[in-house]
């Protein structure tokens, strides 16, 4: 127990600079300052290397309480025991604090790196920004990244689960894992606060992969509804092109005139427009090219094919989702399906009806082999097989989806 007490400190009156010792190197300096009495904690010690006397200010009383000052002094005595100079330790800590960044700054640095790396699509990065802004920024943004603890992260994610947005919670958890891994790799934090947290911690594990593929009869019902529904030509054609090409919805809605060579029947997606950042060429069926040409009077003077106006503003992917949700109420005989299910439906039909080989279908979908060895050595483009499959699929859609010319006869494409 030290020599001082709060009562002794409050009752101490002096007109000159004096020190009240608490013992073990800790004392309270009392001195006049601007007509008032100031009280500052001081820790005295001998430097480990030179044994010369030194002192260190710990802060003013009562901002730093007697108890807190004793705790600081105990920490410094431990540092001396370990051969460390408390003054140098304090300087390092202050420098570290001066360079510390907030979690908001951490997110912005991470996002800048992701944008420059160009490993993911602009749409994915926009989704990350939106999730941060809506769900995480207010609670975590102002905090110093090095001070964020697991309990704070868990509280934010728990509140999201309570709102019933489990999928968004799972994606925010993934975002935070990437963010704090980035901070850990750059020594911006000493401990990763998200270690030990998983989707299971919040009961938000991803559901089983969807396997919904619409048969031709259901695609026909949907196509007929598109022809009769009160929707814009751009929206109707977007859905139809999803069926005809098997492309991703973001690729279709952002289709640019500059990407198209309708003379050769080609749609060339540059790397920055694909999910895997690999350029991809689609060979358009005749029906797809006619649908695209029908948009020329509407958007032909602008950049985007599927535009609500003059080609300046493309359709939004969210808009397609909302429209499909509204249209599905009129498809009573067709079980629920999503926009992405149209891509799966096309790929399924290529294999089931056209007997297209799986490796050709993977090329048509612009999937990369999961096996790195296969990805390295299997570089064949199978261009002829892709052209034949898309041509046959376009004819099948025209005959049995856009129109109904009888039973479907499987088409056997040439296989190598």
Q: At which residue do the structure tokens 């359709």 appear?
A: 315
Q: Is residue 19 part of a domain?
A: yes
Q: Return the CATH number at 53.
A: 3.30.160.390
Are 165 and 255 in the same domain?
no
Last residue of a domain, one of 47, 74, 99: 99
Are 72 and 150 in the same domain?
no
Long-range contacts made by residues 129-135, C-beta under 8 angstroms, separation at least 24? 131/168, 131/171, 131/172, 131/175, 132/107, 132/175, 135/160, 135/168, 135/172
Q: Is residue 209 part of a domain?
A: no
Are 26 and 90 in the same domain?
yes
Are 389 and 242 in the same domain?
yes
Give the residue-averaged pLDDT of 184-209.
85
Looking at every residue in the chain, the average pLDDT score rounds to 88
Are 307 and 313 in contact, with CB atoms under 8 Å apart?
A: yes
d(CA 220, CA 334): 10
Residue 402: CB partners within 8 Å, gap ≥ 6? Answer: 223, 240, 287
Are 384 and 235 in the same domain?
yes
Are 73 and 169 in the same domain?
no
Are 225 and 289 in the same domain?
yes
Residue 373 has what pLDDT? 47
Q: Return the CATH number at 324.
A: 1.10.443.10
Q: Is residue 149 part of a domain?
A: yes
Are 254 and 314 in contact, with CB atoms under 8 Å apart?
A: yes
Are 85 and 172 in the same domain?
no
Q: At which residue do the structure tokens 């032909």 appear?
A: 300
Are 135 and 74 in the same domain?
no
Percent of the chain surpassing pLDDT 90: 62
Residue 407 has what pLDDT? 60
Last residue of a domain, one of 202, 226, 249: 202
- What range does the domain containing 186 cover? 103-202
Give the residue-averaged pLDDT of 288-302.
94
Q: Is residue 1 part of a domain?
A: no
Residue 322 has what pLDDT? 87
Last residue of a domain, one of 202, 228, 254: 202
Q: Is residue 405 part of a domain?
A: no
Lowest mean pLDDT among 61-65, 338-342, 408-412: 408-412
Q: Return the CATH number at 151.
A: 1.10.150.130
Residues 240-273: tens digit of each pLDDT? 999 999 999 999 999 999 999 999 999 999 988 8
**CA 381, 383, 387, 390: dihedral to nearest 10 degrees?**
0
Q: Is residue 208 part of a domain?
A: no
Residue 187 has what pLDDT? 86
Tell me if residue 325 falls in helix, strand or coil: helix
Task: Check pLDDT > 60 for residue 410.
Answer: no
Residue 245 has what pLDDT? 96
Q: Annotate 146-165 with b (16+ C-beta within 10 A) or e (fewer).
A: bebeeeebbebbeebeeeeb
HSE (CB half, 13 Å, CA atoms) of 53? 4
Tell me if residue 45 falls in helix, strand or coil: strand
Lowest mean pLDDT among 13-17, 83-87, 179-183: 13-17
Q: Is residue 410 part of a domain?
A: no
Are 223 and 315 in the same domain?
yes
Task: Check pLDDT > 70 for residue 276.
Answer: yes
Are 411 and 392 in contact, with CB atoms under 8 Å apart?
A: yes
The domain total for the chain is 3
Residue 415 has what pLDDT? 46
Are 376 and 252 in the same domain?
yes
pTM above 0.75, yes or no: no
Give the residue-averaged pLDDT of 92-101.
71
Closest CA to 361 of 380, 382, 377: 382
Residues 357-377: tens digit of each pLDDT? 998 999 999 987 655 544 444
Q: Is residue 319 part of a domain?
A: yes
Other Cβ atoms closer than 10 A to 209 = 5
Are 371 and 227 in the same domain?
yes
Residues 2-56: tens digit of each pLDDT? 688 988 888 887 778 889 999 989 999 998 887 788 899 999 999 998 999 999 9
């Amino acid at each position: 127990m030290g020599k001082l007490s709060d009562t002794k400190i409050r009752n101490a009156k002096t007109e000159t600079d004096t020190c009240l010792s608490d013992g073990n190197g800790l004392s309270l300096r009392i001195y006049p300052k601007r007509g008032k009495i100031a009280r500052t904690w001081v820790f005295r010690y001998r430097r480990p290397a030179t044994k010369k006397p030194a002192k260190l200010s710990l802060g003013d009383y009562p901002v730093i309480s007697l108890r807190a000052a004793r705790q600081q002094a105990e920490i410094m005595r431990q540092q001396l025991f370990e051969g460390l100079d408390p003054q140098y330790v304090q300087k390092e800590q202050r420098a570290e604090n001066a360079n510390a960044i907030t979690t908001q700054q951490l997110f912005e640095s991470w996002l800048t790196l992701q944008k420059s790396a160009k490993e993911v699509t602009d749409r994915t990065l926009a989704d990350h920004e939106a999730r941060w802004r809506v769900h995480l920024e207010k609670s975590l943004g102002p905090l110093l990244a090095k001070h964020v603890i697991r309990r704070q992260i868990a509280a934010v994610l728990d509140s999201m689960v309570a709102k019933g947005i489990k999928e968004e919670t799972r994606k925010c958890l993934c975002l935070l894992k990437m963010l704090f891994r980035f901070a850990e790799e750059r020594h911006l934090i000493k401990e990763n606060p998200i270690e030990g947290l998983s989707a299971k911690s919040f009961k938000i594990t991803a559901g089983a992969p969807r396997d919904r593929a619409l048969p031709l009869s259901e695609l026909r019902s949907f196509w007929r509804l598109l022809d009769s529904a009160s929707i814009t030509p751009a929206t109707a054609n977007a859905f139809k092109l999803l069926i005809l090409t098997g492309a991703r919805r973001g690729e279709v809605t952002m289709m640019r005139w500059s990407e198209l060579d309708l003379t050769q029947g080609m749609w060339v997606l540059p790397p920055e427009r694909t999910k895997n950042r690999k350029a991809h060429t689609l060979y358009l069926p005749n029906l797809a090219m006619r649908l695209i040409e029908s948009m020329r009077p509407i958007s032909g003077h602008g950049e985007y094919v599927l535009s609500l106006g003059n080609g300046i503003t493309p359709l939004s992917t969210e808009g397609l989702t909302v429209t499909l949700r509204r249209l599905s109420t009129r498809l009573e005989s067709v079980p629920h399906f999503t926009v992405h299910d149209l891509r799966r439906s096309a790929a399924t039909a290529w294999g089931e009806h056209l007997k297209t080989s799986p490796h050709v279908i993977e090329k048509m979908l612009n999937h990369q082999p999961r096996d790195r060895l296969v990805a390295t050595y299997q570089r064949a483009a199978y261009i002829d097989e892709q052209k034949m499959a898309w041509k046959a699929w376009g004819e099948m859609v025209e005959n049995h989806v856009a129109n109904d010319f009888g039973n479907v006869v499987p088409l056997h494409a040439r296989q190598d």
